């Protein structure tokens, strides 16, 4: 059976409010990180620099937009549990940072939006 740990979708500026909690954050890895690396330095969708401490070394190089699922240990450091790499194909729409920041801000300010009771 697959287990799911609830997490909050955040931006870099929100990390300090979620220390020791499970989060999901989108970051851009601008300089390719080689296989075997244990740390990724990246920039969040709201343009803050963060460091991702990997739970195990990378199996393949990483560059571009990724989703990091993990636990923040400070305002700019995340202990990674999982990474989702977004495909970088010519047919895909470019990543829309502004829309993502607006969506995360809205989602975090409207906690009961899906509560239809």
Per-residue confidence in pLDDT tens, the chain, 117 aa:
677 788 999 999 999 999 999 999 999 999 888 888 899 999 999 999 999 999 988 888 899 999 999 999 999 999 999 999 887 766 777 889 999 999 999 888 886 666 655
The pLDDT value recorded for residue 104 is 93
Domain extent, residue 55, equals: 8-87+95-106
Give a yes or no: residue 112 inside a domain.
no
Q: Rounded to whole angstroms, what are the CA distances from 49 to 44, 113, 115?
A: 6, 30, 34
DSSP codes, 23-73 = EEEEEEEEEEEPTT-SEEEEEETTS-EEEEE-SS--SS-EEEEEEEEEEEE
Q: Residue 1 domain-assigned?
A: no
CATH number reported for the structural domain that contains residue 81 in this entry: 2.40.50.140
State the residue for tokens 């989702």: 84
Report yes or no on 16 lying in a domain: yes
The reply to whether 81 falls in a domain is yes
Instruction: Count up the domains in the chain and report the number.
Output: 1
pTM: 0.86
| 113, part of any domain | no
């Amino acid at each position: 059976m697959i287990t799911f740990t609830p997490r909050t979708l955040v931006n870099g500026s929100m990390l300090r409010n979620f220390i020791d909690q499970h989060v999901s954050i989108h970051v851009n890895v601008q300089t390719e990180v080689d296989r075997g690396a244990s740390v990724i330095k990246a920039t969040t969708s709201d343009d803050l620099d963060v460091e991702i401490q990997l739970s195990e070394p990378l199996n393949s190089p990483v560059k571009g937009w990724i989703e990091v699922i993990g636990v923040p240990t400070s305002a700019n450091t995340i202990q990674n549990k999982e990474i989702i790499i977004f495909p970088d194909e010519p047919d895909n729409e470019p990543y829309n940072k502004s829309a993502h920041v607006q969506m995360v801000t809205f989602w975090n300010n409207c906690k009961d939006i899906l509560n239809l009771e």
